[in-house]
Structures are given as structure tokens and as C-alpha cells.
Amino acid sequence: LFRQKTDILHPKDLSHLNGFASIWCSIENILLAATAEDYCCTLRIPLGNEEEWTRKVLRFPVEYRFPCIIAIGKKRADAKEIQQKEYSMIERIHYDRWE
């Protein structure tokens, strides 16, 4: 949860988005820390009335925002791991041109 004092969709200037930007830095660090401890994690950004529903269930004040739900846990022993696709940096990075 974070407290946003201004409307993030209509900020007066960039500094009015500091709370919003800071919470996402914190979320990133939570995900990195969990991964470093060999936990699996994912997040879900609330859609539709999910923020309303979560506010009702958890009873947090209306002046607080909830940017996402973070799920953290240990993977199952038989969990299937998705392999990353390998790319050649030499083929992907272009200098002084667009391709």
C-alpha cells in the first residue's frame, strides 16, 4: 500500500508522481529479494473492481492505493521450468542504423 496525495492520472508536475514511482521501486526490490532467496514470485495489477474488492476485504483506508498483488512461494518439485530463448547480441544490437 502507498499513500498518493495527488491524482496520478492528472499530476501537476512530475514530482507529484514520486509516491507512485517509489512504490514500484519497492515492489521491484521485493521481487529481487524473494528471487535471491530461491522463492518464486509474480505480481498482478488490479483490474476493474479488484482494488475496491481488496479494499473491502483488507479494510485499508481510501487514501491509500494498492498497486499490485504479489504472490511469493516455493516452487513445486515437479514444476516445469520455461527455458529462456537465447539471442545473439551481435545480431540484435545495431549501431548507427535502424533495422
Write the DSSP assignment of 23-45 as a string of letters: HHHHHHHHHHHHHHTT-EEEEE-
- What pLDDT, on the 0 to 100 scale, is given for residue 9? 77
- What pLDDT, on the 0 to 100 scale, is given for residue 35? 95
pTM reported for the whole predicted model: 0.68
Nine-digit cell string for 28: 521491484
> Residue 97: which pLDDT band, with cuts at 50, 70 and 90?
confident
Give percent helix, percent strand, percent coil of the chain, each to the nearest 5.
35, 15, 50
- What pLDDT, on the 0 to 100 scale, is given for residue 64? 85
Q: Which of 9-18, 25-34, 41-50 has the lowest mean pLDDT?
A: 9-18
Which among 70, 76, 68, 67 has a CA at the least distance from the CA of 42?
70
Which among 65, 63, 28 has a CA at the least distance from the CA of 43?
28
